[in-house]
Amino acid sequence: MTNWGTAIVIDPRVLDDLKGDVTRLGVTRKRLLVCASMLVAFVALLVPVLWKSQARVARLTEDNAALREQYQMASTALETMTQSHRKILAATEVAPTVGTKSWGRQFVVTQYIPRSPDYGKFNDGFTATMKKADPNARIVAVDPALIPYGSRVWIEGLGWFNAEDCGSAIKGFRLDVLAATTKDAMRYGKQKRFVIVVPPGTEGASAGTTAMLRSPSGDAGSDDTERRRAEERIG
């Protein structure tokens, strides 16, 4: 015997609606699964691209820093060259008629002192041209095969000098400036400097350079300043 007291009566139209909802939910679920799969695939493709982009940005940042450093170095070198050219122009303006026999190039410059035992027994206080080895006379030792005795020699940062001495180690493009003390010579060390050579007898050259060589004290302060700047750039 059936107990109809607890029976639930459902309208068939409600069941049809529920079946339709279940079907729509199933379709939506499939679509969501497809979208999720596409999203995962997109992320999988995007991560390497983002990693490469980040690496490229890092390289560009490093390259930018390197280029900035190179630019600063180039600017410093250009400024140094500009100052050097200004000094050369200033020297030639003092003696503008140096003549066609004059020439210039880079030399290795050192300093020595008179009567030093380090220079051998022939260092008797006189130069190779039998001039007194006086630092105030602004004497420079040269290779006489390259620079004749009596030439006027302008050294970047130091000024004008007389070519009146030589040395066994002073060959080719080497110069040795007569200094007052060993401390001065050691402090100067070995430096590369642009040099202008005015051979003896060059027309118009003697007046300007001789005036400077006879009064070195007036340029002493500027020479010391230039020497310190040169040492700071090299040191």
pTM for this predicted structure: 0.49
Transcribe 38-57 into DSSP letters: HHHHHHHHHHHHHHHHHHHH
- pLDDT tens for 62-102 read 888 888 888 788 777 777 777 776 666 666 555 444 455 78
pLDDT for res 48 = 83
Place 105 in a pLDDT band, splitting at 50, 70 and 90: confident
Instruction: Check residue 192 and report its DSSP letter.
Output: E
CB contact at 8 A, 179 and 111: yes
CB contact at 8 A, 204 and 98: yes
HSE value, Cβ hemisphere, 13 Å, CA-based, for 85: 6
Place 55 in a pLDDT band, splitting at 50, 70 and 90: confident
Lowest mean per-residue pLDDT among 114-118, 141-145, 150-154, 202-206: 202-206
- pLDDT tens for 204-229 read 444 444 444 444 433 444 444 444 44
